[in-house]
Homo-oligomer: A and B are copies of this chain.
Amino acid sequence: MSENSLNISDAEWVVMRAIWLLGDATSSQIVEALERDTRWKPRTIRTLIGRLVKKGALEYQEQGREFIYRASVDEKHCEAAVSQHFLDRIFGGRLAPFIATFVESGNYSPADIAELKRIVEIHSEPGGSNDDK
């Protein structure tokens, strides 16, 4: 129902994550933050910002001669959406095969197992789960 048809590319995701971290920020602040993490030229970063605005992932308000940018989409929501899209693409939409693939390939940490365990426990408590939605 919620229209999550934002198509954010790899490079754009890097920018979004910076902005989700920064909250409101000018392009200069975004550039500054990203020059630490990437090797992109400022121009490149500004291009990506512009594309994200056009896509509706960012909004801005003019502040003097600069713009203050802000994410107009929720981080968790976007993560969930792209995760679901990924699972659909690769694993027919199911979570378990994805996890199994990881486990089989040994690509996981004890923290991951702990997280899994936590999830399973939440949903194993008789009558105590919050999944009554």
Contact = CB atoms under 8 A, between A and B. Distances in A.
Nearest to A123: B113
A112 interface: yes
Given A80-B107, A101-B83, A106-B131, A120 B112 contact: no
* Chain A contact patch, size range: 35 or more
Interface in A74-102: 76-77, 79-80, 82-84, 86, 89-91, 94-96, 98-102
B99 A116 contact: yes
How many copies of this chain? 2
A80 B103 CA distance: 9
Contact of A109 (B95, B102, B104): B95
A100 B100 CA distance: 16
Contact of A10 (B89, B108, B114): B89
Q: Which 8 A-B pairs have the closest CB atoms?
A: A96-B115, A80-B105, A95-B112, A117-B120, A96-B112, A95-B108, A113-B123, A79-B101
